[in-house]
Amino acid sequence: MTRLVLASASTTRARLLTNAGVVFDAVAAPLDEFAARESLSRDGVPSDEIAVSLAELKALRVSALRPGAFVIGADQILILEGEIVSRSSGIEEARALLRRLAGQNHELITAAALAKEGAIVWRHVARAEMQMREISEAFLEAYLETQGEAVLGSVGCYHLEGVGAQLFAKTTGDYFAILGLPLLPLLGALRELGALET
């Protein structure tokens, strides 16, 4: 079987692949994601294309380091009221973001790409609608206290597979994509490309 590489330091993406029985190496892509996202946004690239462009860029950067391997790149962006929301850098920013998200709908756009020998061989974009419920200040403070800096690992400051589920009234879309990786389409592509057993 062809080697697989995940171009990410994301523990969530790694866990999704591991739980699905996929054997892979993880290599963080040498990329300043914030700068790349800002550059694409300034150039007027639409939101879903920003996500897929970043996923492809990560896959290509690591593909150059791992000849012969299929390299998985992924990216996720959060859109609130037409604006791309950046990842919070600290608990105060997380608190402010959660206050903004409370009682509102936002969209997650999750993209994945596969590269081999420096070329993109597959790409996929998934969209999810997230309806966060109104939350009290007491709940918000308790949530931040119990979750701590772990919330900074997600652009929306939540992990739907954990306590973050309590923040939501409703979600619509691919559950795995919400977590950060459109797993089922990715597994299908890997099988079609001969990287996984059929």
Residues near 38 by beta carbon (within 8 Å), at least 6 away in sequence: none
Number of domains composing the chain = 1
From the list 32, 48, 75, 174, the catalytic residue is 75
Q: Is residue 197 part of a domain?
A: no
At 64 the pLDDT is: 95
Residue spans of the chain under pLDDT 50 = none
- Measure CA 120 to chain center: 18
Distance in angstroms (rounded) separating the CA atoms of residues 198 and 191: 6
59 found inside a domain: yes
Question: Distance between CA 197 and CA 83 in Å, rounded?
Answer: 41
Q: Is residue 143 part of a domain?
A: yes
Residues contacting 73, CB < 8 A, separation 6+: 7, 8, 29, 54, 55, 56, 57, 58, 59, 60, 62, 112, 113, 114, 115
Instruction: Answer yes or no: are the C-beta atoms of 168 and 106 closer than 8 Å.
Output: no
Q: Write down the pLDDT at residue 2.
A: 62
Four-CA torsion 42, 153, 139, 137, nearest 10 degrees: -40
Q: DSSP labels for 131-163? A: EEPP--HHHHHHHHHHHGGGGGGSTTS--TTTG
Read off the CATH number of the domain in which 122 is found. Answer: 3.90.950.10
How many CB atoms within 10 Å of residue 92? 10
Q: Is residue 198 in a domain? A: no
- Is 25 one of the catalytic residues? no
pLDDT in tens, 131-168: 999 999 999 999 999 999 999 989 999 999 999 999 99
Residue 61 placed within a domain: yes
Q: What is the pTM of this model?
A: 0.92
Q: Is residue 150 part of a domain?
A: yes
- The predicted pLDDT at position 102 comes to 97
Terminal CA-to-CA distance of the chain, rounded, Å? Answer: 11
| pLDDT of 32 | 86
What is the rounded (10 degree) CA torsion for 5, 126, 179, 29?
30
Instruction: Give the structural domain span for 98.
Output: 4-192
CA gap 153, 124 in Å, rounded: 23
How many angstroms separate the Cα of 94 from the Cα of each of 76, 91, 103, 184?
17, 5, 16, 30
